[in-house]
Structures are given as C-alpha cells and as structure tokens.
Amino acid sequence: MDAVELLLRLVRIPSPNPPGDTIAIADFVAEQMRAIGCEVRQPAPPQKSFARNTIATLGRGEPRVMLHAHIDTVPIAATEAQNWSVDPYAGVVRNGALYGKGSIDDKAVLASMMLVMMEAAQQPELDGSLVLVAAAEEEVGGQLGTKWLANNGHLPVCDFIIVGEQTGNKAATAHKGVLRATVRTTGKSVHATNPNRGVNAIVAMSKIIAALDRYHHDLARVIHPVVGAPTCNVGVIAGGSTANAVPDACAIQLDRRMIPGEKPEEVVGELRAVVESLALEPATASIGGFVYSRWFDSALNTDHARRFLDCVRGHLDADPGPIGYLPGSDAKHLMDLARGDMIIFGPGSYEVAHAADEHVRLDDYAQTTDILRDFVRQTLYPG
C-alpha cells in the first residue's frame, strides 16, 4: 500500500466525535501494524468501550520514541455539509491535495507515522523501541483517550515524544492551557413599565464583562516566547426572557487561556478577584463551574530534540522552530511520560481543519513522512 492509498483508506473510515466510535479505524491501524510484526494492544475505557485506541510497539528497550496521533475527528456540522465540494468521506485527490474529513486533522500525520513504522519493521532489529499510539477522544479533550491511557498504565515513559498535529512541519514546543468558568448575576424581576423597582441582572453583568475585558488587556503584559500572552474571552451570555420584564438572572461563560507556568488555582483567584471587586449591590454575583486543561511546554534541550530540529531543517526551507501551537492537543496528557523532550509536529495548518473541504497537500504529507523517517533512522537504526 503506497502513501496516498494508506491515507485514502484512513479518511474513508468515518470517526466523528461525537459520538466517538473509533472501533473501525483503530482496528484498521491494528491490522496494518500486526501485519508488520508489531506487538499490538487495543485498550478502551470501560465507560466508553467504543472509544478504542491502538498501541503498536516495535523493538525493545531504550531509547524509546513515541509517535502519537489521534484517530477521531470533529463531526460534520449541518451548516458545513452544504459547503463541501466533495463527499467528505470519499477521499478525493485533486490539484496536488487529498480532500476529506480528518485528512489534515489528524489522519495525514497518522499515516506518516504508520509508514515510518512499516519501514522500521524491515530492520533486523532496532537500537531501542518505537511506539505508535493511535488515540481516541482528542477532539473532546482526551479525558477518556490519551489521559485515560496515561493514567491507567497503558503508555510507557519515553525518551522523546512526537504528537501529531498541524504545525506546517515545524517543531512546536508549547500550547496554552484552558480554564473555563461560569459567572452568574442575580437581581429582581419587575414589569418593565417601572424598571427602577427591580434589579437588572444584565446591567450588573455588563459591569463584570467590562471588568473582564480590562483584565484581558492587562494580561498582555506577560508574554511567553512561543505562545504569546494569556487571554480572557467572554464567549456565551444568557439572560432575561422577555423585553417587557427586568431580568432577574444572567450568566456568562468565559474562556481563560493560560500560558505555560500559570497555575490554575492562581488564575481562579484572579477571576474571583475581578468579580468580587465590583460594587453591584443590590444585585449579587458568583463565579464557579471551573474546568481546566493543562498547558504544555518543552525545553528542546536534549540530543533527541536537537536531532529532530536538524531533520526538520534538512527538509524545510524555513526556520524549523520552535513555534507555539495555538490550539490544544493531547501533549498536555503526556507530560508525565516524557523523560526527555516532546514536540508537536505535522503537515499543514489547523486553520484548514474543522472546516468544509478539509485537505492536506500531498507534498506536505510526503515531507512529514520524510522528516519522521530521517529522525527514526538516525535515532533507532543500528550503526
């Protein structure tokens, strides 16, 4: 099976999440890896047994290199479906690109990793071990995917980890964490003919939103070298039921992006301070419902990291990195397994993902494979 045919096969196996059924695609990866002699395991969380993962291992001992990619995709939204020029699951090649849902996110880099595994399997032996992780659940946060695998002993500690995502084939060494929260204001509802008798919860919330906007701009004073500044965004607001009544309740949902080094408990304290600093009486306000996912950061100060950058440099007519990766990834769940460095790497741009006519340029896909192949050859091949 050549490189294009392999990627076509992957794209033609739908794996939208939700619902997150990855049995078919996990089994396809497992079948290909068993055929080349890998030791293959397929764990799945008991609370979502159809979120199947595939872990394939070649060789034994150290150094141990992990190649990680996710096998779920976002679903095709109703408003998106009409904008596709091809069948999203047909896998169409035209004008030097392969089109299909999941083609760039994340099946191209998965295919590259599988091709590298296939070549490595032809070696009589490896000076170490190569682990392919085809993970479920990334598109919904990875709690029952990579995080579950890591927390339940299914993944080994590794000397170098490559997490496949869309970086333009540069080495990304950090992404932000996310903390989400809900703010609620409570007032008193009366008929709008005499609003002064009531307490308008939306007006009270407007003061909080203005304060959060000032807080967002203040955050720009702290800059991370590759991911930039922390941010705070109010993304959802709900309040009131009719125009002829003073609203007695309002709620917003906010998204606070944390740069590497920020602690969630300290960010929670900052957000509480913003809300509690305001004079809203007689309205009241509360903040809660905190949910967070961690940031990822890697120093790139090991021999493996320097070798990987050299491999990128050998194929890319641009600075190889390090760069920041603005979306999140499963890298955050693997930090405790990285004995050395970890990078995010893969073809194309995340701006093409999650959209109609998602595609990967075939030359970018080939370049990804070449870079990964060079690194594995230099790291694990004898001699």
Q: What is the DSSP string of 253-286?
A: EEEEEEPTT--HHHHHHHHHHHHHTS--TTSEEE
CA distances from 28 to 38, 99, 136, 239 (A): 14, 20, 14, 48
Residue 330 shares a structural domain with residue 308:
yes
| DSSP annotation of 55 | E
185 CB burial (10 A radius; 0-12, 13-18, 19+) = buried
Tokens of 122: 């032809």
Residue 280 shares a structural domain with residue 306:
no
Which residue do the tokens 């339940």 mark?
Answer: 152
Question: Domain range for residue 250?
Answer: 177-293
Residue 308 shares a structural domain with residue 345:
yes
Residue 169 shares a structural domain with residue 314:
yes
Domain boundary among 239, 269, 293: 293
- Reply yes or no on whether the pLDDT at 299 is more than 90: no
Residue 274 shares a structural domain with residue 218:
yes
- Give the count of domains, the chain: 2
pLDDT at residue 29, rounded to an integer: 99
Report the percent of the chain where pLDDT is more than 70: 100
CATH number at residue 263: 3.30.70.360
| Mean pLDDT (whole number) for 41-69 | 98
Write out the H or E segment, with its range, that includes residue 131.
Answer: strand 129-135
Please, are residues 178 and 78 in contact by the beta-carbon 8 Å criterion? no
* Local confidence band at 378 (pLDDT 50, 70, 90 cut-offs): very high
How does strand 177-186 pair with strand 249-258? antiparallel
| Mean pLDDT (whole number) for 65-82 | 94
Listed in sequence order, the residues at least 6 apart from 278 whose beta carbon sits closer than 8 Å to its beta carbon are: 207, 208, 211, 285
**Whole-angstrom distance, CA of residue 223 vs CA of residue 229:** 5
CATH number at residue 29: 3.40.630.10
Residue 320 shares a structural domain with residue 351:
yes
Domain boundary among 270, 293, 316: 293
For 199-244, the pLDDT digits (tens) are 999 999 999 999 999 999 999 999 999 999 999 999 999 999 999 9
pLDDT at residue 383, rounded to an integer: 78
